[in-house]
Amino acid sequence: MPETPSGASTATTTAAAPGVPTSTGVPPPERKPTVVERSQFQLVLRRFRQHRLAVAGLVVLILLVLLAYVGSAVWKYKFGAFTPDESAPPSFEHPFGTDSTGKDQFAQVLRGTQISLQIAVLVAFFSTLVGTVWGAVAGYFGGLTDTIMMRVTDLVLTLPLIAVAALLGHSVGGTWWLISLVIAGLYWAYVSRVARGVVLSLREKEFVEAARALGASDARIIARHLVPNALDAIIVNATVLVAVAILLETALSYLGFGVTVPDTSLGLLVSESQTALTTRPWLFYFPGLFIILIALSINFIGDGLRDALDPRQPRARQ
Amino acid sequence: MLAFATRRIVGSIPVLLVSSFVVFLLASLAGNPLGPLLARNPPPPPQTIAAETARLRLDDPLLSRYWQWLTGLFHGDFGPSVISTLDIGTELGARFLVTLRLIAVAMLVALVLAVVVGVVSAVKQYSITDYSATFLGFLFLSMPSFWLAILLKQAGIGFNLALGDQVIFTIGEATPNFQGSFWERIGDVAGHLVLPTISLALISYAAWSRYQRSSMLEVLNSDYVRLARAKGLSRTTVLVRHGLRTALIPLTTVTALDLAAIISGAVVTEQVFQWRGMGDFLLNAIRTDDVYATMAWLLVTATVVIGFNLLADLLYAVLDPRIRYA
Amino acid sequence: MTGNSPASEVVLEVADLTVGFPSDDGLVQAVRGVSYGVRRGEVLGIVGESGAGKSVTSLAVMGLLPRSAQVSGSVRFRGRQLLGAADAELNTVRGRNISMIFQDPMTSLNPVYSIGFQVAEAIRAHHSVSKAAARNRAAELLELVHIPNPRQRLDSYPHELSGGMRQRVVIAIAMANDPDVIIADEPTTALDVTVQAQIMESLQTAQQQTGAAMVLITHDLGVIAGQADRVLVMYAGKLVEVGTAEDVFYTPRMPYTVGLLGSVPQLDRPGTRLISIPGAPPSVLHLPAGCPFAPRCPLVVARCTEKEPVLEPTTGPEHLAACHRSAALVGAAPGDVFDASASAVVESGRDA
């Protein structure tokens, strides 16, 4: 690539009157810096803000969270409550209509959104935690430890996740947090691959050697040095994972192996309404739309984070 | 090259073995095959329960059961199903062929689509085409496959109504008891394949096209592409001979890695379109706590995935001379 | 700038070339009004620090800049205007009349095609010859650049060759079609010093075999010293000194050139103090008025920060320098101009 001098240097140019002057000139006045200094965090934030879709995604997600929790709390109809209006199309009274038993669909969809968000958080937390530690340890120690640990990871990834999830989901029952654990119990494998990759490339770097020379234990090196540097890749990966996990849960629930009655899930709402697509479309479209909104906003945020944390190419102004 | 292939094949065998054990454990511990029987009202007589327990080998210790199962595999015996008249092997075999055609066609369509979209997006980076393709890709990635499938079903029905003839089928994988020539049969199968293939392919292509785009971008900005242009080769020649050829290589690994995910997708798709394929087989097996059927399904898919990964590795070695002697 | 000696023709003439790259913070002016000419058989050295704009200049000549680049000025090959020409037309010139050698040999060759294929490709891009004929020619070229066992090497892949060998393959590709101009962009920067000499030798062979004009871009003055007939010194996107190698090396008339020369250790003069030019090159994003070197120049006066100096003849009509204080440099050694008190001393080879 040609050396395109970037303007974003953090050096300031000042007039230097070097050492013993043999010149007879007058030193020129102090020059103002041509570029502004920015910290690493500010740079990341700035790049994220430039990604318009990511910002939009963030806004939508925040709105969805507010709607799901605050909205459902203040909404006059509670989830699961029967009303006398059966199979009513959308109106001011019931913005998303009602189903054949009179349950307000707005409340149902909000509850489903809550479930999806909660599962997202749980899966993200546990799979990232377990996966990062697993992958970091494997990558750091290498050799036999690495081989064995990674074979286990590979085994988990060889099996189609929906099959294993359905099997486990069927045996543990249909509460949302158990389903989250089932999903997390499978997704850590993806995170561990990423973590291992990063650790492998960082392992030979000088700062690790320096830490070792100072007498740091392996655990300390992994925790204090390797993991923080791997966070960039892991965070990006985690957001993608979260979106996929939400889709997996809805699929599981659609098939009947995820969250079940008496609770509800957006996937369950879709499966219950698929035969009514032409007669009562509101029962089908709203849950689907919400799934798309949640997953899409998370995906955009993830893309924005990827661009912000690791810009591959400087974007040229058009 | 041959040595490379042999080493990889031999290396897969222990993996398969361990997989079989894990699969066995998973299925055996996750379900109680006697459950449905015991839940019957009125409850069945104790002799029936005892007989069923023996047939399902439930009074044998775990390891012995594993050994019986494993050795049975070598002569095609996949174990006893909850449905005593069902031969797991034959049924699974038939179902396998049904699902195979869905997955094969869908993967092919997804691959071609991903390469085309990825390359065009990379070449026209930052254009409207690029942005729209990216947005669409994200949309499909965020769409639940079952929801999309249901919508496609609806669209198919509408299409047929408009045409006045049933060209596209929304239920099943073929018309039962079909009478007709060989080509008419192909047409019938194709008509049943269209919607499920679109459904399955759209989700896969989205992920792959993003990947292909970034791979292509990386290649297009590389030094060797620049040298190729400095040689005076035409833009198209550089794009195809130096750009595409090299950018396609990583896609082979990605495709292989995604096979498990595609199988997952097929399970859902088959449910929506009511195909009597592997997906339906598995879900029934789980619902009825049919341990051996579940086990068989898991083992077959694991073998297929491992085999496919092996093929992808070999293909990679053919395409990229750098790893041939590794 | 270029003397119009009737002896050999000017094959490449660059006039007032300006290149800017739009960025988030504004327009980055990588090249600001550069003009030069090269004659057949001549070796022109372009010297300057990283980011001075040397590579960008050459890429502009070849038409290989990214699409977002804003280029203006004129680039004439044998009278034909290359700037703004259609791709199809440029492709008849690229690789045939003007060829280029890039900096990093490890990434310049496509990893999935054999060496023979890539050399033959250069030939077949411009001549319709059979594959066998191209292959033979490729083997000849590899032999010319001293690659051992050239016939066998035709089927090798790039990753089987060392960096030095790969660069020689790139040189072979560059000379494949007997070009009139060979541009070598930092050909030795990415290689070990021991390999550098071999590469410079291969470059010499290439030039002698083809009789081409060579533009040698580098930040290493040592590389220039033995090879170049004329030298251009670039700083912050502009030419600051132009002249024959003798002129520039022995009678520099721009403080930056003086500083560059003074920072190169010379083993034949032990005890000489090395100087370092204080400060850093300016950001070419928002260049302030006046000479871009002013903040680091020990000879700076008020005039230097007001008006940017233009290239003017100094010791002779062919030796130009862009400096208001050229006169002050007559007879000055680097140590006189720059402060050398706190810097390294060149040891003689006997100790250590």
Per-residue pLDDT of C313-350, as tens digits, reads 888 888 888 888 888 888 777 777 776 655 555 554 44
CB atoms within 10 A of CB B277: 26
Distance CA C217, CA C48 (A): 8
The interface predicted TM-score of the complex, written ipTM, equals: 0.86
Q: Determine the pLDDT at residue A59.
A: 94
CB atoms within 10 A of CB B79: 20
User: B230 versus C278: which is more confidently predicted?
Assistant: B230
CB atoms within 10 A of CB A56: 15
Distance CA B233, CA B54 (A): 74
The answer to whether the CB atoms of B234 and C88 lie below 8 A apart is yes
Angle between helices A105-141 and A227-255 (to 10 degrees): 140
B260 vs A160, A243, A288: nearest CB: A160
Q: Determine the pLDDT at residue A38.
A: 64
Sequence letter at residue C111: P
Distance CA A203, CA A222 (A): 9
Distance CA A71, CA A107 (A): 9
Q: Determine the pLDDT at residue C5.
A: 44
CATH architecture designation of domain C10-232: 3-Layer(aba) Sandwich (3.40)
Distance CA A72, CA A110 (A): 6
Measured in degrees and rounded to the nearest 5, phi and psi for residue C72 equal: -140, 165
Confidence of residue A195 (pLDDT cuts 50, 70, 90): confident
The nearest alpha carbon in chain B to C62 belongs to B230
The answer to whether the CB atoms of C22 and A317 lie below 8 A apart is yes
**B99: contact with A, CB 8 A cutoff:** no
Q: Determine the pLDDT at residue C346.
A: 54
**Per-residue pLDDT tens digits for A68-96:** 999 888 888 888 788 888 888 888 888 88
Mean pLDDT value of segment A286-293: 93
B232 vs C91, C108, C157: nearest CB: C91
User: B217 versus A216: which is more confidently predicted?
Assistant: B217
Q: Is the pLDDT of residue A23 over 50?
A: no
The answer to whether the CB atoms of A288 and B147 lie below 8 A apart is yes
Quick one: how many helices (H) and strands (E) in chain C? 13, 12
Q: Determine the pLDDT at residue B314.
A: 84
Measured in degrees and rounded to the nearest 5, phi and psi for residue B17 equal: -60, -50
Q: Is the pLDDT of residue C50 over 90?
A: no
The domains found in chain A, sorted by start residue, are: 52-79+91-308 (1.10.3720.10)
**A215: contact with C, CB 8 A cutoff:** no
Mean pLDDT value of segment C226-237: 89
The answer to whether the CB atoms of A167 and B287 lie below 8 A apart is no
CA distance A143 to chain B (A): 17
How far the first Cα of chain B sits from its last, in Å, is 10
* Token pair listed for B165: 């003839």
Q: What is the DSSP letter of C100?
A: E
Output the pTM of the full model: 0.80
The answer to whether the CB atoms of A6 and C23 lie below 8 A apart is yes
CA distance C313 to chain A (A): 22
The answer to whether the CB atoms of C102 and B223 lie below 8 A apart is yes
- Report how far apart, in Å, the C-alpha atoms of C17 and of each of B8, B179, C93, C110 are: 57, 76, 19, 31
* Percent of chain C predicted with pLDDT > 90: 42
The answer to whether the CB atoms of C285 and A19 lie below 8 A apart is no
- Report how far apart, in Å, the C-alpha atoms of A208 and of each of A133, A205, A227, B96, C14 are: 17, 6, 12, 51, 50
A160 vs B139, B146, B301: nearest CB: B301
CA distance A149 to chain C (A): 32
The answer to whether the CB atoms of A3 and C55 lie below 8 A apart is yes
Enumerate the β-bridge partners of residue C132: none
A28 vs C50, C305, C338: nearest CB: C305
Under DSSP, is residue B294 helix (H, G, I), strand (E, B) or coil?
helix
**A313: contact with C, CB 8 A cutoff:** no
The nearest alpha carbon in chain B to A57 belongs to B138
- Collect all residues of chain B within an 8 Å Cβ-Cβ radius of residue C64: 226, 229-230
The answer to whether the CB atoms of A162 and B297 lie below 8 A apart is no
Mean pLDDT value of segment B197-217: 89
Q: Determine the pLDDT at residue C6.
A: 42
**C88: contact with B, CB 8 A cutoff:** yes
Confidence of residue C3 (pLDDT cuts 50, 70, 90): very low
Q: In the complex, which subunits touch B with 3 or more CB pairs below 8 angstroms?
A: A, C
**B6: contact with C, CB 8 A cutoff:** no
Q: Determine the pLDDT at residue C344.
A: 55
Mean pLDDT value of segment B126-145: 90
Q: Determine the pLDDT at residue A4.
A: 38
Q: Determine the pLDDT at residue C142.
A: 93
Q: Determine the pLDDT at residue A11.
A: 34
Mean pLDDT of chain A: 80
Q: Determine the pLDDT at residue B72.
A: 85
Three-state SS string over C183-251 comes to EEECCCCCCCHHHHHHHHHHHHHHHHHHCCEEEEEECCHHHHHHHCCEEEEEECCEEEEEEEHHHHHHC
Q: Determine the pLDDT at residue A130.
A: 93
Distance CA C201, CA A177 (A): 71
Q: Is the pLDDT of residue C51 over 80?
A: no
Q: Is the pLDDT of residue C7 over 70?
A: no
Q: Is the pLDDT of residue A157 over 70?
A: yes
CB atoms within 10 A of CB C268: 8
B233 vs C93, C109, C125: nearest CB: C125
Q: In the complex, which subunits touch A with 3 or more CB pairs below 8 angstroms?
A: B, C
Mean pLDDT value of segment B243-247: 89
Sequence letter at residue B81: S
Q: Determine the pLDDT at residue C15.
A: 92
The answer to whether the CB atoms of C95 and B231 lie below 8 A apart is yes
Mean pLDDT of chain B: 87
Q: Determine the pLDDT at residue B26.
A: 86
The answer to whether the CB atoms of C328 and A23 lie below 8 A apart is yes
Q: Determine the pLDDT at residue C348.
A: 47
Q: Is the pLDDT of residue A310 over 80?
A: no
The nearest alpha carbon in chain B to A294 belongs to B142
CB atoms within 10 A of CB A28: 19
Confidence of residue A9 (pLDDT cuts 50, 70, 90): very low
Q: Determine the pLDDT at residue B75.
A: 84
B224 vs C64, C91, C108: nearest CB: C108
Distance CA B78, CA B298 (A): 12
Distance CA A288, CA A190 (A): 26
Mean pLDDT value of segment C57-80: 91
Q: Determine the pLDDT at residue C4.
A: 45
* Token pair listed for A88: 């009513």
The domains found in chain B, sorted by start residue, are: 89-292+301-325 (1.10.3720.10)
**C112: contact with B, CB 8 A cutoff:** yes
Q: Is the pLDDT of residue B187 over 90?
A: no
* Percent of chain A predicted with pLDDT > 90: 19
B230 vs C64, C88, C126: nearest CB: C64
- Collect all residues of chain A within an 8 Å Cβ-Cβ radius of residue C341: 19-20
* Token pair listed for B74: 């070598």
Confidence of residue B169 (pLDDT cuts 50, 70, 90): confident
Q: Is the pLDDT of residue C30 over 70?
A: yes
- Contact at 8 Å (CB) between A300 and A54? yes
Q: Is the pLDDT of residue A197 over 80?
A: yes
Under DSSP, is residue C70 helix (H, G, I), strand (E, B) or coil?
strand
Confidence of residue B11 (pLDDT cuts 50, 70, 90): confident
Q: Is the pLDDT of residue B99 over 90?
A: yes
Q: Is the pLDDT of residue A25 over 50?
A: no
Three-state SS string over chain A comes to CCCCCCCCCCCCCCCCCCCCCCCCCCCCCCCCCCCCCCCHHHHHHHHHHHCHHHHHHHHHHHHHHHHHHHHHHHCCCCCCCCCCCCCCCCCCCCCCCECCCCCEHHHHHHHHHHHHHHHHHHHHHHHHHHHHHHHHHHHHHCHHHHHHHHHHHHHHHHCCHHHHHHHHHHHHCCCHHHHHHHHHHHHHHHHHHHHHHHHHHHHCCHHHHHHHHCCCCHHHHHHHHHHHHHHHHHHHHHHHHHHHHHHHHHHHHHHCCCCCCCCCCHHHHHHHHHHHCCCCCHHHHHHHHHHHHHHHHHHHHHHHHHHHHCCCCCCCCC
CA distance A296 to chain B (A): 5
Three-state SS string over B204-268 comes to HHHHHHHHHHHHHHHHHCCHHHHHHHHCCCCHHHHHHHHHHHHHCHHHHHHHHHCHHHHHHHHHH
* Percent of chain C predicted with pLDDT > 70: 92
Residue with tokens 């947090």: A177
Measured in degrees and rounded to the nearest 5, phi and psi for residue C345 equal: -110, 135
The nearest alpha carbon in chain B to C59 belongs to B230
Q: Determine the pLDDT at residue C343.
A: 52
**Per-residue pLDDT tens digits for B78-98:** 888 877 788 888 888 999 999
**Per-residue pLDDT tens digits for A226-279:** 777 777 788 888 888 889 899 999 999 999 888 888 888 899 899 888 888 888
The answer to whether the CB atoms of A270 and B144 lie below 8 A apart is yes
Mean pLDDT value of segment B216-237: 92
The answer to whether the CB atoms of B264 and A315 lie below 8 A apart is no
C25 vs A25, A28, A35: nearest CB: A35
Q: Is the pLDDT of residue C196 over 70?
A: yes
Confidence of residue A36 (pLDDT cuts 50, 70, 90): low
Angle between helices B88-123 and B291-319 (to 10 degrees): 40
Domains in chain C: boundaries? 10-232, 245-351
B286 vs A161, A170, A300: nearest CB: A170
Closest CA to C296 of A5, A17, A11: A17
Q: Determine the pLDDT at residue A48.
A: 83
Q: Is the pLDDT of residue A5 over 60?
A: no
Q: Determine the pLDDT at residue B269.
A: 92
**Per-residue pLDDT tens digits for A81-135:** 888 888 888 888 888 888 888 888 888 899 999 988 999 889 999 999 999 999 8
Q: Determine the pLDDT at residue C71.
A: 93
Mean pLDDT of chain C: 85
The answer to whether the CB atoms of A5 and C66 lie below 8 A apart is no
**B226: contact with C, CB 8 A cutoff:** yes
Q: Determine the pLDDT at residue A236.
A: 83
* Token pair listed for A250: 């809805």
Residues of chain C numbered 133-162 and touching chain B (CB < 8 Å)? 157, 159
Distance CA C73, CA C61 (A): 11
Q: Determine the pLDDT at residue A305.
A: 86
Q: Is the pLDDT of residue A309 over 90?
A: no
